[in-house]
Amino acid sequence: MLAQFQQRDEPRGEERANVGGKGIGRTLDLSASRAYDSALEILGAYKLTGNFHLNLEIVLKDIDAFDRVTFEIEPRSQLPYSPDCRHVLFRPNANVHMDQFSEIIRSIKGRVGFDGTRPWWTRLFH
């Protein structure tokens, strides 16, 4: 599954390029709480289900990247160090150039990227 693309000795919280049998992709550490907050803001809602996959889809649709990338979310069970951090592998679709893909990745990271350098108690109030 997705775990085969990642090196466990790599530093957390950084963007990593992956080249494997399925092509080029980028793995990002994303914040589940920031994805939830962004989805709330986009939809103008006051409460959502808390499903990270759906929240991420809402964010991707809002930045017009939903049809341009595919993504795989690493299972939560392998992430005991932070319940808010989710590892997601993004791959460009066939019609997306690398410069467009890089811009999409920057936009996703800026919108819902996980910041592991902040203390845990400040992430509670974000």
CA-nearest of 69, 71, 60 to 97 is 69
**Which pLDDT score, from 0 to 100, does residue 19 have?**
46
The pTM is what?
Answer: 0.70
- The predicted pLDDT at position 80 comes to 55
Residue 93: pLDDT band (50, 70, 90) is very high
Domain boundary assignment for the chain: 29-124
How many CA atoms, within 13 angstroms, populate the side-chain half-sphere of residue 93?
8
Per-residue pLDDT, 120: 56
Q: Which residues of 22-51 are buried (b: 16+ CB within 10 A; e: fewer)?
A: eeebbbbbbbbbbbbbbbeeeeeeeeeeee
- Nearest to residue 61, comparing CAs of 50, 69, 51? 69
For residue 96, is it left (φ>0), alpha (ψ between -120 and 50) or beta? beta
Q: What is the pLDDT of residues 96-123, one digit of tens each?
A: 999 999 999 999 999 999 877 766 556 5
pLDDT of residue 11: 38
